[in-house]
Amino acid sequence: MTTSQSQPAVEIRDLHKSFGPLEVLKGIDFEVGHGEVVCVIGPSGSGKSTLLRCVNLLEEPTAGRIWVNGTEMTDPDVEIDSVRRGIGMVFQSFNLFPHLTVLDNLTIAQRRVLRRGRAESERVARANLERVGLSDKAGAFPAQLSGGQQQRVAIARSLSMDPKLMLFDEPTSALDPELVGDVLTVMRKLAEDGMTMMVVTHEMAFARDVADRVVFMDGGVVVEQGPPQEVLGAPRHERTRSFLSRVLDPTHVAQLGQPDEAAEPPAAPGLPADDRHQL
């Protein structure tokens, strides 16, 4: 495995993915640099989750190549289990192991996969629980936690494997609105600590404030990408504009849904000044 800093953390070339006759990804070219935070946005069905799931090969690409930290994921002989150790993933539905305590959720893979001893893995686990602000929940079962707490445990579980890249698949979409903030705060801290992150999200405020780059996907292709102030503040494509206006101002979709009469982007879809979490 060659892990040189000259290569990007994630490199995707001409990625195609079909489910039966349905082509979900229609040729994606895409890179994530080391330490970069990339937010992928787009309407549901645009293929953004599928793209993310292709990166760690939860979905097998139909065509194209993917490298993560210099290892080709699409090589048929790739040692998938060992590459995945370096790629954390956080799911929309948390996917904590309900039969294990929070602490065991964080230690089981360390012990079975990394072969760390009990003391060592518990030390790492507790450090990561501390990081997500849940030190006091080590002995709890997932079902005893709120959604926001579960998702933070899931993040800590991934971090316990010392990943070099973290994938987030709509990490706050299943949460009650008042619990979203805690999870986003943890993710922001992670970004500030220099973690390489690829985040599929509907949280535009998070994308604006934390992302180094925002990628807008629609219909299985990358429509546009760039710094958040460009993509979110002054989108160049009509599809991006109409998506943003639907997300940011859902009660006025009726008018905005019409072909834009004014040439100017609909008030450059005013990102709300406050930090409220949309949708």
Partner 1 sequence: MKLRRRQRERLSLWLQYLAFVAVIAVVVLAADWGRLREAFFRVDIIESMFPTIITVALRNTILYTLGAFAFGLVFGTVLALMRLSRVAPYRWVATAYIELFRGLPALLVLFLVGYGIPIAFPEREIPGGVFGSITIGLGLTAAAYMAETIRAGIQAVPKGQMEAARTLGMSHFTAMRTIVIPQAFRIVIPPLTNELILLTKDSSLAYVLGVTAQTIEVTKFGRDTLNDRVNATPLLVAGLTYLIITLPLSQVVRRLELRYAKAR
Residues that bind partner 1 (CB under 8 A): 56, 58, 81-82, 84-85, 87-89, 91, 93, 95-100, 108-109, 112-114, 141, 143-144, 154, 157-158, 161
Nearer to partner 1, 139 or 250 (CB): 139
Least distance (Å) between residue 39 CB and partner 1: 20
Nearer to partner 1, 26 or 164 (CB): 164
Least distance (Å) between residue 170 CB and partner 1: 13
Least distance (Å) between residue 169 CB and partner 1: 10
Strand ordering across the sheet containing 10-19: 22-32, 10-19, 63-68, 71-72
Residue with tokens 């429509």: 223
Asked whether 143 and 98 are in contact (CB, 8 A), the reply is: yes
- d(Cα 107, Cα 121) in Å, to the nearest integer? 5
Nearer to partner 1, 141 or 237 (CB): 141
Nearer to partner 1, 75 or 192 (CB): 75
Least distance (Å) between residue 154 CB and partner 1: 8
- d(Cα 163, Cα 233) in Å, to the nearest integer? 32
What tokens does 222 get? 């990358």
User: Could you tell me where the DSSP H helices lie in the chain?
Assistant: 48-55, 80-84, 102-112, 118-131, 147-159, 177-192, 204-210, 228, 238-248, 253-256
Least distance (Å) between residue 265 CB and partner 1: 38
CA 170 to chain centre: 6
Nearer to partner 1, 24 or 214 (CB): 24
